[in-house]
A = this chain, B = another copy of it.
């Protein structure tokens, strides 16, 4: 395979920039960039839990692709419509991933909503939303803790997510759009920086693939988590982060 864009090595993720407090009206607000992909993620706290929930609280996510996130307006001149099947699937993945990182039973009868808006799409939007969402979630939880609505220690850790794939003979991490369309295998790995797995999802884009590829790609993904969590922690440097993370 030819060189990656900007001479990036196969096992190196795109540079991450995180700006917190982008929307001052939200409990936690994060503008997140990874190369050409940019997402805006806001965490809100709503004082109601789903009807079917017997105790504790809940977390849910929405994923919206801005119609101008790509080179052509999505949908032509048509009005924006509700989320399509792809967006629904991704929103559910984001919700599950972030729910796994907190102690829902400690939230009280509340719902945390993670609103994800993709502003620029260049591959890896779902993992960007999870990485940004974990920061927005931490900000919202810290706000709740300071307001006395919850105690400390409700978060298990920051969530890291990244894609890995096989393009030609190369195993690549954090594929951009041009790499993604050429990949034979595409995997999304979500976990904690401490190496625990939250969710894995992916597979063959065309023909089925040897099982060995799965493990090599999973390794590659996990090895990038330290870079992600560094960027997340730096963005949270103003927050007494250790108070919201559960001691283990």
Contact = CB atoms under 8 A, between A and B. Distances in A.
Contact of A210 (B71, B197, B211): B197
Given A44-B73, A196-B210, A214-B218, A68 B204 contact: no
Secondary structure type dominating chain A contacts:
mixed
A176 interface: no
B197 A214 contact: yes
Contacts of A38: 23
Contacts of A86: 92
Given A68-B25, A73-B44, A200 B203 contact: yes
In this complex, the interface size class of chain A, counting residues with CB under 8 Å from chain B, is 35 or more
A230 interface: no
Interface string A83-115: 101101101100010001100000000010101
A26 B209 CA distance: 31
Interface string A158-174: 00000000000000000
A79 interface: yes
A73 B190 contact: no
A208 B222 contact: no
A100 B23 contact: no
* A-B pairs with lowest CB-CB distance, top 8: A199-B203, A196-B208, A44-B73, A77-B111, A26-B68, A42-B68, A46-B77, A201-B201
